[in-house]
Amino acid sequence: MRFMRADRLVATLLLMQNRGQVTAAEVAGELEVSVATARRDLEALSTAGVPVYSQPGRGGGWSLVGGARTDLSGLSASEAQALFLLIGPSAAVSPEVKAALRKLVRALPQTFRAEAEAAADATMIDPTAWGERHDDRPAVVEMLQSAVVRRRKVALTYENAARHRSERVVDPWGLVDKDGSWYLIAGTERGRRTFRVDRIVEAEPTDRQAARPDDFALAEAWDEVVGKMEERRSATWATVLIERRFLPILRDHFGRHCHDDGDTEDGRARVRLAAPTPLDIARNLAGWGTQVEVLEPHDVQAELARIGAELAGRYGGGFTAP
């Protein structure tokens, strides 16, 4: 059975509880992953503050501080938060992880279950990309997670798409990792807002208590954000014809906004594409030349003609075809 990362972290922790001490090779064998992956997971638990430590040398391995446990009652509040921050995000996309989290919460001491649940709900994962993936997690994410869990207002210096900077104090409600691109959903004086974390220039937690609606659900709020964004990203639709063997390349460029409408009589694929503006579609198709035929709309055809005329005007003079 293959495990996603959050499942592996839970399974690794429970494996140590049952055995007292494990090696990376034993974890790898149990969870059907490489030894390198098992070692990274063990190090991730330790780095995050979960009480996991390694003992080098012959007969060594990885153990929980205090020895084997049959439950999580030995974890401190900060250690439980660290664990739930690691595994919580995947609960939005994995029913198995969500079920495991519920069981883990019940195993915690009553005194800090609420904080552990807040840590689990602080972040979610949306695996569907909108564009180029960012593999490096912004350094400010950890501080923002802490502010969400502790319910503390954060002072932000934010740079918008037009590179205009503004300063504001927000109530952080949750973070979303969308295939490596991070977003902060927060309350502001003008209501709920979504901030791209890579556009946060500076962020400083405050001692002021943050307000958060009792009925706020991060997954539901993010669904609304995605819905509005998809409306803007699919404002213009075009119908094109292309050789079917090239369709996977179009899918890479347009993602979920590339719909296969079947084959034409001459064997080409009829495809519907969407983007915010006709120019956005034309820019993506211009490099294809006559390999792509745009049937509609006229606005996209006109943009392609304009781009072609501009290129011919600049490079056409003195050009000799091979």
Residue numbers of the domain that contains 180: 126-232
pLDDT, residue 22, reads 87
Residues 309 and 238 in one domain: yes
Last-in-domain residue among 186, 212, 232: 232
Is 65 domain-assigned? yes
pLDDT band at 168 (very low <50, low <70, confident <90, very high): very high
Residue holding tokens 């992953």? 33
Residues 72 and 21 in one domain: yes
Answer whether residue 251 shows pLDDT above 60: yes
pLDDT, residue 41, reads 84
Residues 194 and 261 in one domain: no
pLDDT, residue 110, reads 60
**Over the Cα atoms of the chain, what is R_g?**
25
Residues 151 and 52 in one domain: no
pLDDT, residue 69, reads 46
Cross-strand bridge partners of residue 175? 123, 184
pLDDT, residue 16, reads 78
Rounded to an integer, the average pLDDT of 302-306 is 95
Least confident of 72-86, 125-139, 183-197, 198-212: 72-86
- Token representation of residue 151: 């319910």
**pLDDT of 43-61, one tens digit each?**
877 766 677 778 777 777 8
Rounded to an integer, the average pLDDT of 27-35 is 84
Is 62 domain-assigned? yes
pLDDT, residue 282, reads 95
Answer whether residue 113 shows pLDDT above 70: no
Average pLDDT, the chain: 80
Residues 219 and 163 in one domain: yes
Residues 151 and 213 in one domain: yes
pLDDT band at 31 (very low <50, low <70, confident <90, very high): confident
Helices (H), 20-155: 24-31, 35-48, 77-87, 95-107, 113-121, 140-150
Give the long-range contacts of residues 217-224, CB within 8 A, separation 24 or more. 218/92, 218/121, 218/124, 218/173, 218/174, 218/176, 218/185, 219/92, 219/124, 221/173, 221/174, 221/185, 221/192, 222/124, 222/126, 222/174, 222/176, 222/183, 222/185
More confident residue, 111 or 202: 202
- Token representation of residue 321: 């075809």
Residues 134 and 216 in one domain: yes
Please state, for a pLDDT cut of 70, what percent of the chain lies above it: 73
Least confident of 5-9, 253-257, 291-295, 300-304: 5-9
Is 253 domain-assigned? yes
Last-in-domain residue among 232, 247, 268: 232
- Token representation of residue 71: 């439950």
| CATH number for 287 | 3.30.70
Phi/psi of residue 320, nearest 5 degrees:
-115, 120
Is 247 domain-assigned? yes
DSSP per residue, 72-109: STT--HHHHHHHHHHHGGGGGT-HHHHHHHHHHHHHS-
Residues 240 and 227 in one domain: no
Instruction: Quote the pTM value.
Output: 0.56
pLDDT, residue 68, reads 40
pLDDT, residue 28, reads 87
Is 92 domain-assigned? no
Answer whether residue 291 shows pLDDT above 90: yes
Residues 140 and 227 in one domain: yes
Residues 148 and 72 in one domain: no
Q: Which of 55-59, 123-127, 217-221 has the highest mean pLDDT?
A: 217-221
Is 121 domain-assigned? no
Answer whether residue 195 shows pLDDT above 80: yes
Is 118 domain-assigned? no
pLDDT, residue 1, reads 38
